[in-house]
A = this chain, B = another copy of it.
Amino acid sequence: MPTLSGGDYTLVYNLFSFTFAAMLASFIFFVLSRSQVAPNYRNALTMSALVVAIAGYHYFRIFESWSAAYAINDAGQYVATGAPFNDAYRYIDWLLTVPLLVAELIAVMKLGKMSGMITFRLAAAAALMVILGYPGEIAADNGTRALWGAISTIPFVYIVYVLFRELGPAIARQTGQAQVLLRNIRLLLLATWGFYPIVYLLPILGVEPTSALVAVQVGYCIADVAAKCGYGVMIYAIAREKSIAEGYMLEAKPATAAGD
């Protein structure tokens, strides 16, 4: 681990804390908002809650690992303590959460009989993408990083293909605002998931090691907040729109009209 300036160290430290807080708040939001959508869509919100709970746990661990990996010296710089900064937490997190993210999209679409098979294919491709990226992340040389990065792009391309080609007709059948939101969430997924490989490639793109270390951590935090919290809020919005469209009662009835 390279020596960091006070500014660099605390930037990463505070961003880890911010991301943990975002996951915690999102978790509470998704749990409490389950009752705001029709029972059919509660599974999707449950999955959103699982994703941010898993990520919150891992950000807590990442934060602790970062704190343990560095100690401040007399010059105000942060030097490595020898305790390793454990990058594996991110990958274990993604291994669990990325399949859930595609599963919740399918759950909120309510595709009927084809749901199970599409969910399985997307979740398997998502897990494969994460597994294939890991050897590159921990590799010492850029060639290995580039190689595994390229290989893990194959399942990513497959996911994009399924989302935009196979699911196109199903999205076109959705009505009103839900259709617009589904088109948008697909773009959000593409944009955020496409952001991870850019961060992954930073060490290769001639960025010097200290800046690359900081930039990778900052980048992954931003991507995780968008891809988990932001994405989950959109899943909620879709579930809410569909619940209202299907006539699910969310408003309080006047006391006189309620016959109980």
Binding site for B on A (CB under 8 A): 6, 10, 13-14, 17-18, 20-22, 24-25, 28-29, 31-36, 38-40, 42-43, 46, 49-50, 53-54, 57-58, 61, 72, 74, 82-84, 86, 88-89, 92-93, 95-96, 243, 246-256, 258-260
Contact = CB atoms under 8 A, between A and B. Distances in A.
Contact of A50 (B28, B38, B254): B28
A24 to B, nearest CB: 6
Contact of A42 (B36, B61, B74, B247): B36
A33 B54 contact: no
B58 A46 contact: no
24 contacts: A14-B86, A14-B89, A17-B61, A17-B89, A17-B92, A18-B95, A18-B96, A20-B57, A21-B54, A22-B96, A24-B54, A25-B53, A25-B54, A28-B50, A28-B53, A29-B46, A31-B32, A35-B39, A36-B39, A38-B251, A247-B252, A249-B253, A249-B255, A260-B260
Given A35-B42, A252-B40, A58 B247 contact: no
A165 B24 CA distance: 35
A230 to B, nearest CB: 13
B251 A39 contact: yes
Nearest to A53: B28
Contacts of A247: 252-256
Given A17-B89, A36-B43, A39-B252, 10 more contacts: A10-B88, A21-B54, A24-B53, A28-B50, A32-B46, A33-B43, A39-B251, A40-B250, A74-B82, A247-B253
Contacts of A249: 252-253, 255, 258
Nearest to A58: B21
Nearest to A93: B21
Q: Which 9 A-B pairs have the closest CB atoms?
A: A38-B252, A248-B252, A247-B254, A32-B46, A14-B88, A247-B255, A18-B92, A25-B50, A39-B250
A124 to B, nearest CB: 16
A39 B86 CA distance: 44
A110 to B, nearest CB: 11
A25 B96 contact: yes
Contacts of A17: 61, 89, 92
